[in-house]
Structures are given as structure tokens and as C-alpha cells.
Amino acid sequence: MHLILITVLLMSAHHSFGQSATVWLNEKGPSPLISKNIYGHFAEHLGRCIYEGLYVGDSNQIIPNTAGVRNDVLAALKKLKVPVLRWPGGCFADTYHWKDGVGPKNNRPATVNNWWGGVTETNAFGTHDFLNMCENIGADPYLAANVGSGTVQELSQWVEYVNGNGNSAMVSWRKSNGREKPWQVKFFGVGNETWGCGGHMTPEYYSNLYKQYATFMADWSNSHHLFRVASGANADDYHWTEVMMRDIPKDLIEGVSLHYYAVIDWKEKGPAASFSRAQYFATMKQAFRMEELVTKHEAVMDRYDPHKKIALVVDEWGGWYDAEPGTNPFFLFQQSTMRDALLAGITLNIFNNHCSRVRMANLAQMVNVLQAVILTNQEKIILTPTYHVMEMYNVHQDARQIPVKLNNVFYAEGSDSLPAISASASKDSLGATHISLVNIDPGKSHLIRVYWQGAELKLDSGRILHSPRIQDHNSFDEPEKIKPQSFSGADMKNGTLEVDMPPASVVLLTLHG
């Protein structure tokens, strides 16, 4: 048995008893892998995510591109190790007819993007563009299928078009459009938010519809191993999950989704960058709520699927604030600050700690929309603090989880308080141990003591993301204001690892035996 103990000592007058918090990283017995797909992304035809953000067209002479996709963005996404990418929506998915987006670009029909500002959708970026881009960056595609306004036949033909090998009209059409080999797409979402923009359905009605779609997109035994994700709950709608688990036969479903945004108040979301301390606290509180949601949805799923065959797929998560002043409010363009980096750090720790059930998650969204990892402005590009957290944490991808038990210390704001520290850990295939720590307290450093029993561990390296103010962010004038630095605040003392975590920081430590 291998046991790691982290003690967090609060260095503040506020908790003046020398209180300490303790985290047990309890490596006993075989633990599950942290699926790399927890580090997934989401790109929707919304605002400037696809057009301008990812795709500028292959005739663009100013912004270097590969088949129309920006080279700077491609390079950043490769470095991030994006494991899986969901497309084309979101709400847009249930208005999207894939046949509009294949074939010669000048023959593609223009449509209207009804959900996101009524702008013209040229369909210039379609199935081939998306799947080839995924191939280029080494990500698995995750296609979100249209249930709300599509048909069972339309989806089964999409599956055949992208995956078929036989002699059929769909396969011939794909080949005549320039793609000989199938892409072998594994992940399919069957509708999006079917309780809302996907059709305002009841769970009972949707689960029947789901069964019909899921049946005809595969064969008798799903011999091509499609991973079909049922459109799942909005936040704490546990009844929705219950109905999916109860009514859908287990051989027709591989995942059920959950959507949750850390929003302060849907009517008053607050500014993305110039927020107050109270708004910061409120966002962190909402971010921590993911723990409760995942735990409770998991408990429902456990009742129907004790062996955890079906994955919980959190295919939309992130912070959502008011759109930047002066931008189209339907385009959901927001700055991304240190607050978002901390939000990402907390959330990814929660997913790592629940990896036996959470086996995919997709941050909303990839470029220029909501909690984006990349922002673009013409030929300029910013990697946001959230990008850097995702990049630091990618060491956990497909590593074996080390379970965490945490006795925390608290960050108080007014009469309310939150746990100050969040943690998760894993051991990778080469035997390195990675510990990710977040201190959300914007006003205080915390000393963290790391103990372990068993084999001796040595500190290899540390990285930190930190900036003096929680409102700090990268800008087009100062794109590298915030980026990971090497961390010298961790030290091995008499077999104990002491970590001095600055306020509002994310730290990644790597140790080896």
C-alpha cells in the first residue's frame, strides 16, 4: 500500500490556531485511469469560434493556414494535446444538416444560424474540414447529431458517410468529395440539451427517441464500437439522469451527458474581467458545485449501472459571463482571467477525482467563445490562462488516478467561506507522480506539507500559474503576461514535501521514486 499525505497549514491570522488541512492520496489497490478525454474541448458554429477562430479559408493570404485552418491555432492545439473535440454544437447541432456542409464549397447552401445572432452560415466549414482538422491535431472527433430537427435516416447516413467501407451511395459520395478512407469516428452525441434548445422534450419522450436513433446508427451488436452519448441533464436535474439510466437498454448507450456552467446568476452574469471580489467568490462557489453535481449524478447512475459501464460525459462546462462590451451579445465573446484558470484547475481536479465515472468532458468553448483557451483578433492570437492550466494538467491524461482525501482550510468572504485548496493526483505509465494543486484564496499564501509512506519520492519539477491580481489576463498587447513559470516554492525537508502556494495560483508538481 502506498500512502501520500498532504498537510495544508493555514498561514493566516484569520485562522489563528495554526490549523492545518490534510489531504490523503491513498494509492491502494488498482485505481482507474484518468481518461485523457476529460481534457476534451468543444467548438460550435457560434460567434467567432469556427469562422475567424479556427477557420479563415484556404484563400486567406494574410493568416497562414492549412486547408483553411489557422496554423497558429493548430500549433497551439497540438501542444495542448487535445484528446477529443465536440462539434458542431451546442444548440447549433440541432439545426445542422450535415449534407449542407459537404461537396464543393461554392455549391453549399447558405443557411441562417438561428440560435446565435441570425448570422449567415456559409457551410464552408463542414464534415471534411472538421474531421481532417481533428486528424491534423491528433484529436478524436465527437460529432453532435441533430435530433431536434433532423431525422433518424440523416444520422444513420452521416455515420455511413464518415465510417462506411462498403459499396454504398454515401461511401461513393465521400470518395467523390476527396476522402477515400473512412475517418472511423467513434464518439456521437444524440441530440443536445433536448430538455431545452434541442426540442424542449420530457426525458421520457427523449429516451424513446434516443432508442430509435441509437438503434439505426449502429448494427445489431454495435460491432463498430460507436460510443453513443445520450443528451443528459441540465445541472441538478437528477430525474433526467434517472430516466436515461432506467429506460435506455444498456446495449444502446455508452455515455450520458451533463451540462453545467459556473454562472453567478443567469440574469446578471457579471463582467468577465473587471469583476469584484464578491463576484469572484460567487464564481468559485459555483465552480465547486461541480463536485456535488457529479457525485449525485454518479449515485443515480450507480443504482442502474454498478459496474460503471456507462460514462458520465460532462460535454459542456466552464465559466459564463456577460459578453465583452461592444461585441455582439449572441457571440458570447469574453475575456479569460486568472479567475478562469482557477475555475479550470478546480473543475479538472474534480473530474480527475471522479474518473471512474467521468470519462469525458468538453470545455466550452475552444476559441473566442465563453471560457476559450484561445482568443484571436485578425492575425493575432492569445493563449488564455485557461489554456495554460489545460496544458499543465495534460500530464494526467491516461495516467492512473491516485485517490485524494482532503481536510481543507477555508477562504472566507464576508460571512461565507469556501475550501481554499483543491487537489488531485495521478501516476503516469513511466512511474512519475503528478500532483495538481489550486489555491483559490486571493489574499493568502498557504503552506502545503506533502507526506507519503512507502517508497521514497523525489521532487522532479514544479510549474506554477500565478499573477498578482485575479482579474489579470493576457491581451493582444501583452499576450504573455500570464504563462506557466518554473516553481521554486516546493522543497523536500526530511522526507516531507513543503509547498508554499501563493494566493490564487495553480501548481503542478512532478515526483519520481
Q: Give the range of 83-91, 201-209, 391-399, 426-434 binding ligand AHR by CB under 6 A.
A: 83-91
The reply to whether 472 sits near ligand AHR by the rule CB under 6 A is no
Of 193, 242, 298, 379, the active-site residue reads 193
Cell of 455: 517508497
- Which grid coordinates belong to 495? 522526507
Binding segment (CB under 6 A) for ligand AHR, from list 62-70, 121-129, 362-370, 399-407: 362-370
Name the one range near ligand AHR by CB under 6 A: 85-93, 171-179, 222-230, 295-303.
85-93
Cell digits of residue 141: 472527433
CA distance 387 to 365: 11
β partners of residue 66: 69
Nearest residue (CB) to ligand AHR, 163 versus 286: 286
In the chain, DSSP finds a helix count (H) and a strand count (E) of 9, 28
Determine which residue in the list 162, 226, 323, 364 makes contact with ligand AHR, applying CB under 6 A.
364
Residues 88-127 that bind ligand AHR (CB under 6 A): 89-91
Q: Per CB under 6 A, which region of 84-92, 120-128, 154-162, 300-308 contacts ligand AHR?
A: 84-92
CB atoms closer than 10 angstroms to residue 306: 8
Is residue 134 close enough to count as binding ligand AHR by CB under 6 A? no
Select the residue interacting with ligand AHR from 140, 193, 340, 441 (CB under 6 A). 193
CA gap 26, 452 in Å, rounded: 9
Q: Which of 94, 121, 129, 316 binds ligand AHR (CB under 6 A)?
A: 316
- The residue sitting closest to ligand AHR, measured at its beta carbon, is 90
Per rule CB under 6 A, is residue 209 in the interface with ligand AHR?
no
> In the 8-state DSSP scheme, what is residue 47?
T
State yes or no: cis peptide before 109, omega within 30 of 0: no
| Window 370-399: residues binding ligand AHR (CB under 6 A) | 370
Is 316 labeled as catalytic in the residue annotation?
yes
Best CA proximity match to 339, nearest among 371, 300, 361: 371
Rounded to the nearest whole angstrom, what is the least distance from the CB of residue 364 to ligand AHR in the complex? 4
Residue from 157, 192, 279, 349 in contact with ligand AHR (CB under 6 A): 192
Question: Is 229 in contact with 190 (CB distance < 8 Å)?
Answer: yes
Residue 27 appears among annotated catalytic residues: no
Q: How many CB atoms neighbour CB 118 within 10 A?
A: 9
Strands 255-262 and 311-319: parallel
Query: Cβ–Cβ contacts within 10 Å for residue 157, how many?
Result: 20
Catalytic residue positions? 193, 316
Residue ranges that bind ligand AHR, judged by CB under 6 A:
44, 89-91, 192-193, 316, 364-365, 370
